[in-house]
Amino acid sequence: MQTLIKNGTLITASETYQADILIEGETILQIGRNLQSPNAETIDAQGKMIFPGGVDPHTHFDLPMADTVSSDDHYTGHKAAAFGGTTTVMDFVSFDFDTFEESVDAWRKKAGKAAIDYSFHMNLTKFNDRIAKGIPTLRDMGITTLKVFTAYNGRLRLDDGSIFKTLQITKDNGMLVMVHCENGDVIDTLIPQALAQGHTSPEWHALTRPAWGAVEATLRMAAMSSQADAPVYIVHMNVGGEVDMLRYARERGVKVMGETCPQYLFFTMDDLRRPDGAKWICSPPMRTEKDNVRIWEGLHEGTLQTIGTDHCPFFFDGTKPIMYEGREVKIPGKELGRHDFTKIPNGLPAVGDRLPILWTYGVRAGKISANQFVEYVSTNPAKIFGLYPRKGALLPDSDADLVIWDPEKHVKYGVAHSHHRTDYNLFEGWDVTGMPEKVFLRGHLIVDGEEWKGKAGQGQFLKRKEGIVL
């Protein structure tokens, strides 16, 4: 079966040009001007843009947390991603069992309902000699990335020595360490002090996680990267000072890369002070307008490498059901921490918002170019995480993961457009101009306007190879 998309404007990380795309089966067969194929289904993309499908390197589906579970699973979250123009997502495996293989197998079973293509990172939350010897076996499972934490003492955090040993192992095995950068010791000191003084409102989630902790941890991880001569990828950078540290390290040849997320470009700690401030609770927290500006600058100047989402949604009021695909759904959510910020599940919805919001308030606003947009939301994640050129590219033999984008479609954005399985959207009522019109996953049309043509189980697990250090 062939599909011919004609007259579109193709936008890649490096080029913008007019061309047709001929799809055969699940891959791109040919790209060129005035292509002909008499037996192909033809789609006229005149006046539209064509991007490679989005690649979100940072998501959390069906994740247990704080006496509940994130409200999007590997079907509902993938569906939301597709409606937003994302066709590949990467989730994190919790190290819940004695071995990596058992933990990965459990996550593979949870992801059996996948609606788009997906891969995994491995959370490395415990460390000993046996675990260290097992790290290279992850490559055989198609997982080439490990995430470590410098916070969440006693639960997720590894000491610096264990992180450094991990870097030595990953260097020798063509793997990559991802790091959540905060200062766990400072956080664990400030939280009980705040509670003892009666500070229980959402803003104290941010006040007990000082920005300087992220800045110093980012520089510390860059230093370890240099000392081990191993690449490091800093996740969800939320502080302007982190961008400064990233630039400082990269200018000195350190193999460190940085990711940010939409929430750190648009929101601040003041949003936590709103009556519904719990909606904005995530870790690390939002900071200040100056931090927003510096992160945008980091994107504009090319200091950062990717924009993920850290998608991990919860209901704002889980006592009230919502309708999802014709059925009532009710999942405990942020109301669990109504009287104590430490009990609010950390996380927010974003996987479906990323492309429309960044196009309108990034590209159209002149903060990043259209080519940078594709670079940050698709091509760079595919390169860094070993999926390029299968994903993140408009090239012959690449998977036909395509977004036909209507740059003039205007909507009042919100819950109705995001398709997340939760009861709120951070961008409710925002004016958005530019939305996906059609989305293809390996040549299959899965989103056609507002019609969902995908299905559970159609997503494929992607075994990844060694990535590229950008």
- DSSP string covering 2-33, please? EEEEEEEEEE-SS-EEEEEEEEETTEEEEEET
DSSP code per residue over 171-196: HHTT-EEEEE---HHHHHHHHHHHHH
150 neighbors 179 (Cβ within 8 angstroms): yes
Q: Are strands 306-307 and 256-260 parallel, antiparallel or unpaired?
A: parallel
Do 33 and 147 lie in one domain? The reply is no
273 neighbors 341 (Cβ within 8 angstroms): no
Identify any residues that bridge with 11 across adjacent strands, giving them in sequence order: 16
Q: Is residue 162 part of a domain?
A: yes
Do 46 and 151 lie in one domain? The reply is no
Do 233 and 101 lie in one domain? The reply is yes
Q: Is residue 312 part of a domain?
A: yes
Mean pLDDT of the chain: 98
Do 15 and 65 lie in one domain? The reply is no
pLDDT of residue 128: 97
Q: 360 phi and psi, to 5 degrees?
A: -70, -50
**Cβ-based neighbours of 205, under 8 Å, separated by 6 or more:** 272, 281, 283, 285, 341, 342, 344, 346
Q: Are strands 402-412 and 327-329 parallel, antiparallel or unpaired?
A: unpaired
10 neighbors 16 (Cβ within 8 angstroms): yes
**Cβ-based neighbours of 334, under 8 Å, separated by 6 or more:** 278, 279, 281, 314, 315, 316, 317, 318, 344, 345
Token pair, residue 174, equals: 């063509």
Do 87 and 128 lie in one domain? The reply is yes
Question: Which pLDDT band, with edges at 50, 70 and 90, does 378 fall under?
Answer: very high
276-289 residue pLDDT tens: 999 999 999 999 99
Identify any residues that bridge with 6 across adjacent strands, giving them in sequence order: 44
Nearest to 406 by CA among 369, 442, 450: 450
217-235 residue pLDDT tens: 999 999 999 999 999 999 9
Nearest to 325 by CA among 122, 73, 142: 73
126-150 residue pLDDT tens: 999 999 999 999 999 999 999 999 9
422-437 residue pLDDT tens: 999 999 999 999 999 9
3-state class (DSSP) for residue 462? coil
As a whole number of Å, the CA-based R_g of the chain is 21
Nearest to 104 by CA among 145, 67, 132, 57: 145
3-state class (DSSP) for residue 100? helix
pLDDT of residue 413: 98
Q: Is residue 164 part of a domain?
A: yes
pLDDT of residue 463: 98
How many Å apart are CA 446 and CA 113, to the nearest integer?
15
Nearest to 3 by CA among 448, 359, 460: 448
Q: What residues make up the domain containing 44?
A: 2-51+392-411+431-452
Do 33 and 84 lie in one domain? The reply is no
Q: Are strands 444-448 and 431-441 parallel, antiparallel or unpaired?
A: antiparallel
Do 221 and 284 lie in one domain? The reply is yes
Helical ranges in 111-210 per DSSP H: 129-134, 137-140, 160-172, 184-196, 203-207
How many Å apart are CA 398 and CA 413, to the nearest integer?
32
pLDDT at position 397 over 90: yes
Q: 185 phi and psi, to 5 degrees?
A: -65, -45
Do 244 and 348 lie in one domain? The reply is yes
Identify any residues that bridge with 88 across adjacent strands, giving them in sequence order: 55, 117
Q: Is residue 469 part of a domain?
A: no
**Cβ-based neighbours of 248, under 8 Å, separated by 6 or more:** 219, 222
State the pTM of this model.
Answer: 0.98
Q: What is the mean pLDDT of residues 231-246?
A: 98
Token pair, residue 126, equals: 């415990």
Total tally of structural domains belonging to the chain: 2
Q: What is the mean pLDDT of residues 40-68?
A: 97
pLDDT of residue 66: 86
Do 359 and 210 lie in one domain? The reply is yes
Give the helix/strand (H/E) hosting 447. strand 444-448
Do 63 and 208 lie in one domain? The reply is yes
pLDDT at position 16 over 90: yes
CATH code: domain of residue 20: 2.30.40.10
How many Å apart are CA 345 and CA 365, to the nearest integer?
33
**Cβ-based neighbours of 113, under 8 Å, separated by 6 or more:** 73, 74, 75, 456, 457
Q: Is residue 84 part of a domain?
A: yes
One-letter amino acid at 9 equals T
419: left (phi over 0), alpha (psi -120 to 50) or beta: left
Question: Which pLDDT band, with edges at 50, 70 and 90, does 399 fall under?
Answer: very high
Q: Is residue 397 part of a domain?
A: yes
Q: Is residue 425 part of a domain?
A: no
Identify any residues that bridge with 22 across adjacent strands, giving them in sequence order: 4, 30
Q: Is residue 187 part of a domain?
A: yes
pLDDT of residue 416: 86
Question: Of 365, 384, 403, at which residue does a domain stop?
Answer: 384
Do 201 and 152 lie in one domain? The reply is yes
Do 98 and 29 lie in one domain? The reply is no
Q: Are strands 49-52 and 402-412 parallel, antiparallel or unpaired?
A: antiparallel
CATH code: domain of residue 264: 3.20.20.140
How many residues make up the chain in this entry? 470
